[in-house]
Amino acid sequence: MVYTNINTDLLFAGILLHDIEKLEELDADSLGIAEYSTQGQLLGHINLAINKIGKVGEKLGADKEVIMLLQHMVLSHHYEPEFGSPKKPMIPEGELLHYIDLIDARMYDMEDHLKNIKEGEFTEPIWSLDNRRLYKPFL
């Protein structure tokens, strides 16, 4: 382990739980086409998740600080207010969770945009990648 100050149990729990309420935020039809549910539009997956973590954590008798830290990680994993996070990470595990989530989202966007173009071409500007255009190499 490179970062010896990291509580890996807390980090792994945050990784598993941070988007758990996307299942409630979105409704999908039999074809897999998803739209936001009423709860999803009004509350969003972040608020739904911190509420669920609090309720389930109390029911299981989990340590109050662990519950609070997991809630903080969910609350801060989008990092910026314009992406839904009212707080930035205040613990190392939260910072790592943010960057793990960011890498995952960016790699998905890159794959999604590159799959529809030919080798040697550039994509259109991609908003989620700071309006960068990607190049698809001949590899």
Q: Which are the contacts of 51, defined by CB distance < 8 A and separation ≥ 6?
A: none
pLDDT above 90 for 1: no
- Residue 53: the pLDDT is 97
Measure the CA–CA gap between 18 and 4, rounded to whole angstroms: 23
The pTM for the full model equals: 0.87
3-52 tens-digit pLDDT: 899 999 999 999 999 999 998 999 988 898 999 999 999 999 999 999 99
Instruction: Give me the residue spans of the domains in the chain.
Output: 8-98
55-108 tens-digit pLDDT: 999 999 999 999 999 999 999 999 988 888 899 999 999 999 999 999 999 999
pLDDT above 80 for 131: yes
Measure the CA–CA gap between 110 and 122, rounded to whole angstroms: 12
